[in-house]
Structure 1
Amino acid sequence: MPELSGEDLLAAEYAMGLLEGEDLLAVRGRMARETAFAGLVAQWETRLAPLLDEPAHAAPSPEVWSRIAGELEERDEAPSPVVLLQRRVAVWQRIAAGSAVAAVAAVALLFVPLGNTPAPATDAPPLVASIPIADTPLRIGLTFLPEREELLVAADGLTADGAHDHELWLIPPGEGAQPRSLGVVAPGTQERVSLDPALARSMRQGAQILLSQEPLGGAPDKSAPGPVVAQGTLAKT
């Protein structure tokens, strides 16, 4: 089967946490600058999320393995496949305790063409916003995943000045809508933020996203942003 290539491969590798060093920094920079690429990454994160969840530990206890092995060895002097497997149980238990099994499944997905793999059922596509930082080519990239009620914030291009914090605000579509805080932005990072259901319902196409300058720790009044230094609009990918 054909492998993924180009933008899809890069976005999928990022979504699985396979990138490191300069490659990781380069992709984060693209997400902050390019709305379309940030949306592609969001689609892969939504698609791979079920595979990357922590797997449940379901291995039989050592006592069960010992009893099975003992009964089989009594019947046949040659080690059976079950006995050999029992000797390796410690290795598999370590794998089951982490996310390696899910990661292997996710890697396997890379070799399945997009056209032949059904995407997770969803009624709402991701929403993205690209917020320019002053007069620079740098941007803060936002991606909202409706099905997971999560907001991805890529603030790689934002730097701290030691005297202020920056805070994101949502203004839902509609006349007279009041600003709602989305939280303080951590400069130079990429974060995944879980939104409460009421706030998530307000994340709609056309909603305005503001970036304000606040005292350290964020706005004292969570219903009124400080000086707005940048803004963008949520839109479908």
Structure 2
Amino acid sequence: MTDTDRPDDEILAAEFALGFLEGEDLMAARGREASDPAFAAMVERWQSQLAPLLDNIPPATPREDVWKRIEADLGVSMPSAEVVELKTKLRRWQWFGGASAAAAAAIAVFAFTFKTAPVTQPVEQAPLAASIPIADTDLRLAVTYLPDRSELLVSASGIAADGVHDHELWLVPGDDSPLMSLGVVVPGEERRVKLDPAVASRVADGSPLLLTREPLGGKPEGLDAGPVVAEGLLRKI
């Protein structure tokens, strides 16, 4: 069994496919998917296996008394953080206990629905993501935009520096206005970037992204951007 085939990775791939991961965990998983072909294959396998099952599970919102009954049975009043922890443990017990894919998917959807039901997220606040292929290699630059925080998560895991050039990421606005820089990509690292409000206001579903090759430090002031080496589109996830 290789490092990328260990059970923890299978669980992570399944949770990623089901949409459980958030924040730093989501960023790390997207980086793994972009740079680790074995992990990407796990995610794809889980998506293909679970998608048909999820189609057959009708959406349902648990009754308000569900967690009150659990608290009563335990004889304690659980803070919200402990409720989330209990649901997380329940998911992992199902995976380790050898539950069937259908049962695990049903439990996962139940927990995810319960967690998100109290707050309805506006459609426009859904995260956007792009997986940008690097030239003719198997490497990809993973980009995730969080609209509610105006933050860009850029994962360049597996990409190495050449010591001569830097690569700069650009947003292509929806009109004929100039390209907007999203910053210089740091090879082999995952970075969180707070976007300027003027730039954040132009990010939308379907926004094109370009990666250009620049001198070290990024595009020099007063010069045009360098040659485009990769491109992709931001899409809702």
Fold shared per TM-score above 0.5: yes
Distance 1:200 1:229 in 2: 23
1:131 is aligned to 132
By relative contact order (CA 8 Å, sep 6+), the higher-ranking structure is: 1
CA RMSD across the alignment: 3.4
Structure 2 stretches lacking a partner, 5+ long = 1-10, 44-78, 91-109
Report the alpha carbon displacement of residue 5 of structure 1 after superposing the two structures with TM. 8.0
- 1:161-200 to structure 2, matched below 5 A, reads 161-174=162-175, 176-200=176-200
Q: Give yes or no for contact 2:20–2:112 (8 Å, CA) kept in 1.
A: no
2:85 is aligned to 107
Distance 2:80 2:164 in 1: 42
4+ runs deviating over 4 angstroms: 9-18, 31-34, 101-106
Offset from partner CA, 1:14-51 (integer Å, 9 cap, x none): 74659xxxxx6x762204586xx7xxxxxxxxxxxxxx
Matched, 1:8 2:7: no
Distance 2:22 2:34 in 1: 11
Structure with larger Rg: 1
Structure 1 stretches lacking a partner, 5+ long = 19-23, 38-100
Matched, 1:144 2:139: no
Distance 1:27 1:205 in 2: 18
Q: Give yes or no for contact 1:129–1:141 (8 Å, CA) kept in 2.
A: yes
Stretch moving more, 152-161 or 118-127: 118-127
- Percent identity, aligned pairs only, is 42
TM-score normalised per structure 2:
0.58
1:107–1:196 Cα change, 3 Å: farther
> Aligned partner of 1:201: which letter?
S
Count of paired positions:
163
Report the alpha carbon displacement of residue 8 of structure 1 after superposing the two structures with TM. 2.1
